Structure 1
Amino acid sequence: MTLRPCCKMFSAWRLLLKAFIVAGFLSVLSAPMQAGADPLEKYLTAEDFAKLFPHANHVVPVGADPHYYSYENMKNALEMSEEFAPFLNEGDETTKRLELAAILANWAQETTGGWADAPEGYTSWGLCFLEENQARSAGNCYYSAESPYQPDKVPAAPSDECFFGRGPIQLSWNGNYGAFSEFLFGDPKILLNNPDKLLENGQNGFASGFWFWTVYKGSPFISDTSCHEAMVEYGAKGFGKVINIVNGAIECNIPLQPFSSEKGKKIRHRADHFHYFADYLGVGDELPPRPEGKPADTPEWNKYYKEVLVGCIE
């Protein structure tokens, strides 16, 4: 059959349109990920999360979200604010994987329920506790009268109104609760007057972790630098600086303590978590070579820990 001129023209337009559609589709596939897009699934899937945190939500306080630590809550929290967009969106592929390993390591250490001979290993017990263990009955309220962020009523320990650690990063002190509450709700008093509200919603809990990682720059030890910026600038060697931001007053700026001491054990476990997640994410070779066997207070192991913890340990 011979096509009339109008049909030939229509057929040509169809071919041209098809070519444009294919070209456009391919360009979308090849386009780099833009800041603000969700990059989490590229590096960590729901299946990965389940493997890495088999004991998540092992201890859930009364009134808290029973599924507080979930992949969905983590993923949705990352999408809550443009301020979180730099996470996993800056640096090369290795840097991004190291940053993910670093944030998971700190969250895991802050919430661990593991012990030296724990089933499946110490490092598999991250995201176990939603709040600081036994803090409600302890004598430390984590309250500072010098902070500009003040609750309507000054709490006295032990009390549910105290600002002990809650959430993946274990947000602590009234200054941090007030600043994050202002960021999340537009009102610092929401969490200052009811810090337990942070436990009611796992998505908000993970948001506190991302806020501390990408927004917070208030460390007196690593000034005007976020955890994200430390990892992007220094790679694996930024991990110690991150610890200095997270818990510098307790764990850093001192010599490596003996393994038998609580401080010595805690800082080594934080490094162990980093290596655990870095290995899983395929960037373990970026860290110093890890000695064979079980960690011990020996020159070889102490050298390894000092190299991993550069920027924290003197």
Structure 2
Amino acid sequence: MITRSLFDKMLKHRNDNRCPTHGLYTYDAFITAARSFNGFGTTGDDATRKRELAAFFGQTSHETTGGWPSAPDGPYAWGYCFVTEIGNNDRYRGRGPFQLTYDYNYNQAGEAIGVDLINNPDLVATDPVVSFKTAIWFWMTPQGNKPSSHNVIVGKWTPSDADKSAGRAPGYGVITNIINGGLECGKGQDARVADRIGFYKWYCDILGVSYGNNVDCYSQRPFT
């Protein structure tokens, strides 16, 4: 679904000298990692597959953005610019496309991909295949009482009555809620949510797919 040239177009400035990730995130590493997870980017019709990839890269690009309003080619051409959380020296600080944090996430992700991330957490920031694998693991795996982002975007999640009463409906907005709803959702207009949406729409446009419904979480209560 994503060719090498398309990957380079989507993550246009990831190898810019101003980005700490310079040279880290390669197309080959992404393809290797993606093939390790059955169903990722391969579920449903072409539109569903494209929308999942746009959503995945939309969320991860927000987490690693190096863009600014007047950036060359626009702020959304600067995803995957950072690989580690800035200003946090904690052993399990954010690393990788999803800024993986906390020992329980490193432990679960490591077990899932067969790598000891408890004793070697920096692999998430230095090994591109491991880095992509941890991000796709997070994407494909239900987080606590939350559905997986994968199931939401491919239409395999059915909201419960509690979800409906909380305003949570299928769409990109619920994925933002899964990832960081406690800080960003249910607060009305929020610049962080808007940035996630901007990246998502940028990738949807590149891939030639519609955005779908419910792209924001402004009126959604967070998962508890």
TM beyond 0.5: yes
1:238 paired to 2:171 = yes
Aligned in 2, Cα 1:181/1:57: closer, same or farther, shift over 3 Å? farther
The offset of 1:88, in angstroms, is 2.0
The offset of 1:209, in angstroms, is 1.1
1:247: which partner in 2? 180
Aligned in 2, Cα 1:274/1:234: closer, same or farther, shift over 3 Å? farther
1:77: which partner in 2? 33
Unmatched runs of 5 consecutive residues or more in structure 1: 1-42, 142-161, 258-263, 289-306
CA root-mean-square deviation: 2.3
Identify which of 173, 187, 191 aligns with 1:265. 191
Q: How many residues align structurally?
A: 208
2:138: which partner in 1? 212
Identify which of 205, 210, 216 aligns with 1:309. 216
SS in structure 2 of the partner of residue 129 of structure 1 = coil
SS in structure 2 of the partner of residue 228 of structure 1 = helix
CA deviations over 1:182-203 (Å, ceiling 9, x no partner): 12226xxx32233112222101
CA deviations over 1:238-258 (Å, ceiling 9, x no partner): 211111222222212x2224x
Identify which of 131, 136, 148 aligns with 1:226. 148
CA deviations over 1:249-294 (Å, ceiling 9, x no partner): 2212x2224xxxxxx211101011111111111113x446xxxxxx
Larger relative contact order, structure 1 or 2 (CA cutoff 8 Å, min sep 6): 2
1:275 paired to 2:197 = no
TM-score by length of 1: 0.61
How does 1:1-314 map onto structure 2 within 5 Å?
43-58=1-16, 59-60=19-20, 67-79=23-35, 81=36, 84-136=37-89, 141=90, 162-185=91-114, 190-214=116-140, 216-220=141-145, 222=146, 225-233=147-155, 237-252=170-185, 254-257=186-189, 264-284=190-210, 286-287=211-212, 307-310=214-217, 313-314=220-221
SS in structure 2 of the partner of residue 87 of structure 1 = coil
Distance in structure 2 (CA, Å) of the matches to 1:110 and 1:219: 20
Distance in structure 1 (CA, Å) of the matches to 2:219 and 2:29: 31
1:10: which partner in 2? none
The offset of 1:132, in angstroms, is 1.4
Give the letter for the 1:309 counterpart: D
Distance in structure 2 (CA, Å) of the matches to 1:266 and 1:273: 11
Q: Assess if the C-alpha contact under 8 Å between 1:164 and 1:172 holds in 2.
A: yes
Distance in structure 1 (CA, Å) of the matches to 2:170 and 2:71: 29
The offset of 1:227, in angstroms, is 0.9
Q: Percent same amino acid at aligned positions?
A: 33
Aligned in 2, Cα 1:196/1:250: closer, same or farther, shift over 3 Å? same
Q: Assess if the C-alpha contact under 8 Å between 2:188 and 2:219 holds in 1.
A: no
Distance in structure 1 (CA, Å) of the matches to 2:75 and 2:219: 22
Distance in structure 1 (CA, Å) of the matches to 2:93 and 2:203: 26
Unmatched runs of 5 consecutive residues or more in structure 2: 158-168
The offset of 1:67, in angstroms, is 2.8
TM-score by length of 2: 0.84
Distance in structure 2 (CA, Å) of the matches to 1:246 and 1:270: 11
Give the letter for the 1:115 counterpart: W
CA deviations over 1:216-255 (Å, ceiling 9, x no partner): 21244x2xx2111011117994211111222222212x22
Distance in structure 2 (CA, Å) of the matches to 1:68 and 1:77: 14
SS in structure 2 of the partner of residue 256 of structure 1 = coil
